[in-house]
């Protein structure tokens, strides 16, 4: 039993990348860009999030003669979560609502990326919102895992 648990943990760690330089967290997806974005939207809505927009950058780029690999942005949020963060540091509003980007790389591998909430803490000098940040971190991790595995 223990070796399966350790194997599962290793598989997750190896498929998750925290990019300290740009403040993002990236997970490898087992699905297409469309399926991953659909799954993300579904789980986020089930947990009370509003989907404000979904932008297909590749489709829009094609209209102006630029070819992009599949790239979709999902913009989502809930004022019950974002408003307390803005009360701690109003400047965080520039990064809200939250976003995830789902991309396909040159090897046809799909990735889901989102801002690390700790990056927002550092970027906006957020103080006194540790419980909210922890809640956001857990929710984003769960949404992303559900969409990619």
Per-residue pLDDT of the chain (149 residues; tens, 9 = 90+): 544 444 444 444 444 565 556 899 999 999 999 999 999 999 999 999 999 999 999 999 999 999 999 999 999 999 999 999 999 999 999 999 999 999 999 999 999 999 999 999 999 999 999 999 999 999 999 999 999 99
Contacts of 17 (CB under 8 A, 6+ apart): 25, 26, 27
Q: How many domains does the chain have?
A: 1
Examine residue 4 and state whether it is found in any structural domain, yes or no: no
Examine residue 3 and state whether it is found in any structural domain, yes or no: no
Examine residue 5 and state whether it is found in any structural domain, yes or no: no
Judged on CB neighbours under 10 Å (0-12, 13-18, 19+), 103 is buried
Domain membership of residue 67 as a residue range: 18-148
- Whole-prediction pTM: 0.85
Report pLDDT for 11.
44
What is the CATH classification number for the domain harbouring 70? Answer: 3.30.310.70
CA distances from 77 to 47, 48, 93, 130 (A): 10, 9, 12, 18
Examine residue 132 and state whether it is found in any structural domain, yes or no: yes
Examine residue 68 and state whether it is found in any structural domain, yes or no: yes
Examine residue 54 and state whether it is found in any structural domain, yes or no: yes
């Amino acid at each position: 039993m223990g070796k399966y648990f350790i194997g599962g943990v290793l598989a997750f760690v190896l498929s998750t990348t925290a990019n300290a330089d740009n403040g993002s967290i990236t997970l490898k997806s087992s699905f297409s860009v469309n399926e991953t974005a659909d799954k993300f939207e579904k789980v986020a809505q089930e947990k009370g999030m509003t989907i404000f927009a979904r932008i297909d950058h590749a489709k829009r780029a094609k209209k102006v003669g630029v070819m992009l690999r599949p790239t979709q942005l999902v913009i989502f949020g809930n004022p019950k979560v974002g408003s307390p963060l803005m009360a701690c540091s109003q400047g965080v509003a520039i990064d809200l609502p939250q976003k995830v980007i789902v991309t396909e790389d040159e090897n046809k591998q799909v990735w889901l990326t989102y801002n690390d909430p700790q990056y927002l803490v550092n970027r906006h000098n957020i103080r006194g919102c540790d419980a909210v940040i922890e809640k956001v971190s857990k929710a984003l991790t769960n949404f992303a895992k559900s969409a990619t595995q």
